[in-house]
Amino acid sequence: MTTPAQIISRAFERIAPLRLAEKWDNVGPVHPLLSGRTHPWYIHRSILTPSHLWLIPLNLTEAPISRQNANRILLTIDLTSAVVEEAISTRTAAIISYHPPIFKPLSSFTLTNPLQKSLLLCTAHGISVFSPHTALDSVKGGINDWLSDIVQAAAPGSVEYVGAPKEDELGGEGRLVRFQQPVELGSLVNVIKRGLGLSAVQLGRSAHPRSDKVTSVAICAGSGGSMLLGADADVYFTGEMSHHEVLAAVASGRHVVLCGHTNTERGYLPTLAEKLRAELKDTNFGGESVEVHVSSKDRHPLDIL
């Protein structure tokens, strides 16, 4: 029996191959229990309590854990409690969580930890979890290219990789847009705000006396400090950088545009949904055609007041 996680993994080998992910990343099915594969134990959801979980032994020959009549894939940036509740309350077979819920090895699972509880609830309800993260950033047509398209609404330009290309230019780290004609910094900021649907961003102006005309923008989705510092561009455009990274950037003569970590990622989810629908158009989960939905509960954790 082919599981939802296996089907999704194959689809992502065509959309954003996991080999493009950074070495430090934790992409793919999050955990064997959450990948839909047969496992000798499972969590019985009817007796999952705030303080206890119960592991019930299964015969190794039994079918993989799965939800009956579940035919939905739910897309989110983060696997929050609200997103998990949304998945459980609908016919969701799998969650594509852009950010990996687990980055480091866990010595134990506890229901007092909200993230671990979310993972255990997914297991109890037979919901697979898959994360593409930096593979989706790097691949051509992925998140960093989407951000490049937003920037080029200010003026046409050429696009390069910030770092070296990967796998015969199947993708690469970051993007560098070089405009054909200089662009006013204020105009660029307004274009970015419109493209991301934001009312405000953070702007760090160069510490050097220089024109507000810019000719190049280095781009990285999410947290871009380590990748962008040192890039030869007038503007660094990313979700977030540390205090000292911003100081280093503006001291080196760069402007910095920060939009909030997930605000540089979430707007790509409808595009990813279309790609998945195309890949899975002839696929069934639970005897029904697969449906792909963007979570209505996924949101940036901070508000600007």
So where are the chain's domains? 4-135+266-294, 140-259
Please say whether the dihedral angle defined by the alpha carbons of residues 146, 201, 222 and 232, taken in this order, is positive or negative.
positive
Distance of CA 109 to the CA centre of its chain: 24
Strand partners, 154: none
Q: What percent of the chain has pLDDT over 70?
A: 87
Q: Distance between CA atoms of 260 and 182, rounded to whole angstroms?
A: 26
Q: Would the pLDDT of 64 be above 60?
A: no
Read off the pLDDT of residues 213-269 as tens digits, 9 standing for 90 and up: 999 999 999 999 999 999 999 999 999 999 999 999 999 999 999 999 999 999 999
Q: Would the pLDDT of 79 be above 80?
A: yes
Neighbours of 90 (CB within 10 A): 14
Domains 4-135+266-294 and 140-259 share a fold: yes
240 belongs to an annotated ligand binding site: no
255 belongs to an annotated ligand binding site: no
Evaluate whether 299 touches 81 at the Cβ level (below 8 Å): no
Q: Which uninterrupted H or E stretch holds 129?
A: strand 128-131
Please say whether the dihedral angle defined by the alpha carbons of residues 253, 254, 255 and 261, taken in this order, is positive or negative.
negative
261 belongs to an annotated ligand binding site: yes
Beta-sheet strands, E only, within 132-264: 157-160, 165-166, 171-172, 175-184, 202-204, 213-223, 235-240, 255-258
- CATH, range 140-259: 3.40.1390.30
Q: Distance between CA atoms of 304 and 262, rounded to whole angstroms?
A: 14
Q: Which CATH architecture has domain 4-135+266-294?
A: 3-Layer(aba) Sandwich (3.40)
What pTM value is reported for the model? 0.88
99 belongs to an annotated ligand binding site: yes
